[in-house]
């Protein structure tokens, strides 16, 4: 039996809101729209796979 090493391909992203500059942790494969918790600006939109990030990515958490 062949066993393959499976890597985790999903990540959490620390993004900065372009309006209020609040930093927020979001999932890169979000299945729903992610809004900034301070001002309500849309940070990520779902696309069926990886989300389309509409904010500045500050760091990547693994």
Q: What is the pLDDT of residue 3?
A: 72
Q: What is the mean pLDDT of residues 49-54?
A: 94
Q: pLDDT confidence of 24, banded at 50, 70, 90?
A: very high
Distances (CA, A) of 51 to 2, 7, 26, 39: 33, 19, 10, 20
Q: Is the dihedral of CA 45, 50, 55, 58 positive or negative?
A: positive
Question: How far apart are the C-alpha atoms of 46 and 52, rounded to whole Å?
Answer: 6
The whole model's pTM is what? Answer: 0.81
What architecture is domain 12-61?
Single Sheet (2.20)
Question: How far apart are the C-alpha atoms of 29 and 6, rounded to whole Å?
Answer: 18
Q: Where exactly are the structural domains of the chain? A: 12-61
Cα 37 to its chain centre, rounded Å, is 14
């Amino acid at each position: 039996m062949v066993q393959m090493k499976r890597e985790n391909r999903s990540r959490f992203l620390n993004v900065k809101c372009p309006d209020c500059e609040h930093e927020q942790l979001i999932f890169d494969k979000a299945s729903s729209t992610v809004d900034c918790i301070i001002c309500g600006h849309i940070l990520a939109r779902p696309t069926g796979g990886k989300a389309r990030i509409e904010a500045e990515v500050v760091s990547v958490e693994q």
